[in-house]
Amino acid sequence: MNVYKCAWRRSALLVALIVLFASPVRGATVSLLHCWEEHRGQWLQEMLDEFERAHPGIEVDNQFFAGCGLVEQQYIIRLAAGVAPDVAMLMTNTVGALALEGSLLPLDDLMARDGIGYDTFYPSEIAAGQWNGVTYSLPIRTGGDVNNILFYNKSLFDEAGLDRNRPPETLSDLLDYAEKLVRYEGEQLVRNPVNAPSTGGGSFGHLAWLYTGGGKYLTDDARRVAFNSPEAIETIEFILDFESSVYRGEPPRWNLETNRANFLNGSLAMWIEATWEYSWIVGNRPDLELGVGVRPTKTGSEPTGIHLGTWTYGISIGTEVPNEAWELLKWLTVRPESAGAFMLRQGRASPIVAVNESEAFRAAVPWADVLGRALSTAAFSPVLPIDGDVRGVFDRFWGRAVRGEEPAVSAMEEAARLAQAELDRFWARFEN
């Protein structure tokens, strides 16, 4: 018998009974496990105070756990001890495993009952809390804006004869723009047109290049690797050709700090990064003529980046107050006045589409349209607890290939062989 299928059936039956017969109970207490601290912890407490005022008779047991890196482990420990919180803050790599084990309450029937559509959230954001077509958690913050924004210096575009209001949209555009923007003095690179794609920024960056080139990381059921496809090989070959055309030798290696410094001083013309760098740039160089676009893709139609997880809230399957927990979860994830405001106070986008399309958000974020496009087109890939191992293999061999240290086909075939073995060992735990 398939263990996780049986667990899912038990969960589905339970949630059906909840939807049909349960209703919030006065005098109930809902426990919430989270790791928000300092100012965000205070803002969360304000949200909980408002929730209690709006729901007389329901109290929230605020269970703060210091250290977001360990909060999921703490949840699993409490779950095993039979004292799991009713609502828990979880990263999506944990959600998949907990769903497989039947430890989280399915939310789809509750969403349907209360008229909450999946399109409340951006596609990759709602997908982050789903497993095998079932929704087990809802997003707190965005994860689809980590690697799909292109910042550029409009003054340098003017100097190179480029349209300052038209950032590159395709990989072909990116090469054309880079060849016009790059500057050498003798053999010394004095202006890097863009953070070199072979360095990639680690796994996130390499995976983003894979997706913008039309490839995929894993199959939708997360059982097979997919990163050894023809599209992946074509993308590697593009990166090799790009860097051969743009640089006179080895491309510059970079990290976040060097990119920040170089973009501010004008020695980096375009910078592919995350949304939160916008406020850092404006705060440190308010005089810089900043342009913002989405990450260029193969044809302009592929995903503009990769969503590999975010923070979500889920409900424990064994909760004794399921409807009260659901009311709290909605308050923390769906309601613009609470969930949306929590992210806006942090100066970040919300996973709720309506919040980012509001007049208040547009007034605060002049590039809201670009951000909305980036969030709408980010791809989501299933995330497993062993993702670090699988990505480690992918990253190592992709890096070899794009640096020209090993032929692309043989590198990615070997990566697929090793990564598939990791996946097979993981899935064997859930089979007879």
Q: Report if residue 432 sits inside a domain.
A: no
User: Is 394 a residue whose pLDDT tops 70?
Assistant: yes
Tell me the β-bridge partners of 10.
none
Element (H, E) at 410: helix 408-428
Tell me the β-bridge partners of 58.
28
Contact predicate 153/263, CB 8 Å: yes
The more confident residue out of 20 and 198 is 198
CA dihedral 90, 95, 97, 101 (to 10 degrees): 100
Distances (CA, A) of 283 to 230, 264, 277, 278: 42, 11, 10, 8
CB count, 10 Å around CB of 1?
6
Between 230-246 and 171-181, two packed helices, what is the crossing angle to 10 degrees? 10
- Residues 120 and 154 reside in one and the same domain: no
Mean pLDDT across the chain:
90
Q: What is the mean pLDDT of residues 255-283?
A: 92
Q: How far apart are CA 193 and CA 137, in angstroms?
A: 41
> Given this model, what pLDDT does residue 23 score?
56
Q: How far apart are CA 377 and CA 184, in angstroms?
A: 35
- Residues 240 and 335 reside in one and the same domain: no
- Residues 299 and 359 reside in one and the same domain: no
- Residues 8 and 128 reside in one and the same domain: yes
Q: Report if residue 211 sits inside a domain.
A: yes
Q: What is the mean pLDDT of residues 266-278?
A: 93
Q: How far apart are CA 406 and CA 398, in angstroms?
A: 9
**First-to-last C-alpha distance (Å) of the chain:** 6
User: Is 276 a residue whose pLDDT tops 50?
Assistant: yes
CATH number at residue 374: 3.40.190.10
> Given this model, what pLDDT does residue 101 score?
86
- Residues 125 and 217 reside in one and the same domain: no
Q: Where are the beta strands (DSSP E) in 24-148?
A: 28-34, 58-64, 87-91, 130-131, 134-135, 137-139
Chosen domain end from 342, 357, 380: 380
- Residues 153 and 292 reside in one and the same domain: yes
- Residues 87 and 218 reside in one and the same domain: no
> Given this model, what pLDDT does residue 132 score?
86
3-state secondary structure of 62: strand
> Given this model, what pLDDT does residue 22 score?
52
- Residues 136 and 241 reside in one and the same domain: no
Here the contacts of 280-283 (C-beta below 8 Å, separation 24 or greater) are 281/151
User: pLDDT tens, 9-62?
Assistant: 444 444 544 444 455 556 799 999 999 999 999 999 999 999 999 999 999 999
Pairing of strands 268-273, 188-194: parallel
Contact predicate 330/409, CB 8 Å: no
Please provide residue 248's backbone torsions phi and psi, each rounded to the nearest 5 degrees: -95, 70
The more confident residue out of 328 and 6 is 328
Q: Report if residue 344 sits inside a domain.
A: yes
- Output DSSP code: residue 403: T
Query: Can you say whether the dihedral through the CA atoms of 215, 216, 220, 221 is positive or negative?
Result: positive
Range of the domain at 285: 149-304
- Residues 293 and 325 reside in one and the same domain: no
Within 58-140, residue ranges assigned H as helices are 71-80, 92-100, 108-113, 123-127
Contact predicate 139/90, CB 8 Å: no
Confidence of residue 360 (pLDDT cuts 50, 70, 90): confident
Contact predicate 209/243, CB 8 Å: no
Domain count, the chain: 2
Lowest mean pLDDT among 231-240, 270-279, 414-423: 270-279
Chosen domain end from 359, 380, 401: 380
> Given this model, what pLDDT does residue 34 score?
97
User: pLDDT tens, 103-115?
Assistant: 999 999 999 999 9
- Output DSSP code: residue 296: P
Q: What is the mean pLDDT of residues 70-92?
A: 92
Q: Report if residue 389 sits inside a domain.
A: no
What is the value of pTM for the model shown? 0.88
Q: How far apart are CA 412 and CA 421, in angstroms?
A: 14
Q: What is the mean pLDDT of residues 406-420?
A: 98
Q: What is the mean pLDDT of residues 140-154?
A: 93
Contacts of 360 (CB under 8 A, 6+ apart): 344
Contact predicate 326/332, CB 8 Å: no
Q: What is the mean pLDDT of residues 393-409?
A: 95
Chosen domain end from 380, 408, 424: 380
| Size of the chain, expressed as the number of residues it contains | 432
